[in-house]
Amino acid sequence: MAAFDHSLAALRFFGDELVPDEISALLGANPTVSYQKGQELVGSRTGVKRVAKTGSWRLEAAPREPEDLEAQTFEILEQLTQDLTIWASLARFEPNLFCGLFMGSGNDGISLSGKALLAIGQRGIELGLDIYDAVEDDSDSVS
């Protein structure tokens, strides 16, 4: 089984009541991207303005080529508090680890250690895997 060509990963929180500075203070790190509900956002490529429908706090790991989702998971989690009571208090924002996995061939595979899965699970983080075919590479950003 071949490894994925490359991977992206981001821890994400969303919610109408989400205040990015409060999330940052609780987790002990600043996000890569954040905004509050109702905030005006300007597209970096298009310049198009829109209003955020909900709040968002995202922390991205560095892209890996070849894929190394295990390292990306710990790159993110090691920056943040280890206090599980804080993580439990953030459950209302439905934390998720978005993972973009980009295939290099028709039969790529991935695995995560029990240590990584435990760290994700203890914090109540949902694991989301988006797998992209080798022919459709849209790896410009993490959603």
What is the pLDDT, as a whole number, of residue 109? Answer: 82
Q: What confidence score (pLDDT) does residue 101 get?
A: 93
Number of domains within the chain:
1
What is the pLDDT of the chain when averaged over all its residues? 92
The predicted model gives 31-42 an average pLDDT of: 95
Q: Which pLDDT does position 139 carry in this prediction?
A: 54
Please state, in angstroms and rounded to a whole number, the distance separating the CA atoms of residues 40 and 113.
40
Average pLDDT over residues 119-143: 80
Residue 141 in domain: no
Q: Is the residue at 143 inside a domain?
A: no
Domain that holds residue 23: 2-132
Q: Is the pLDDT of residue 135 over 90?
A: no
> Percent of the chain at pLDDT above 90?
80
Whether pLDDT at 79 is above 80: yes
Query: Has residue 111 got a pLDDT over 80?
Result: yes
In a domain, 142, yes or no: no
The dihedral sign for the CA sequence 26, 29, 63, 34: positive
Residue 34: which of 121, 93, 120, 108 has the closest Cα?
93
Domain membership of residue 72 (yes or no) is yes
| pLDDT interval class at 82 (50, 70, 90) | very high
What average pLDDT does range 13-32 have in this prediction?
98
Distance CA 1, CA 22 (A): 43
Indicate if the pLDDT at residue 107 is higher than 90: no
pLDDT at 136 over 60: no
Q: Would the pLDDT of 70 be above 60?
A: yes
pTM of the model: 0.89
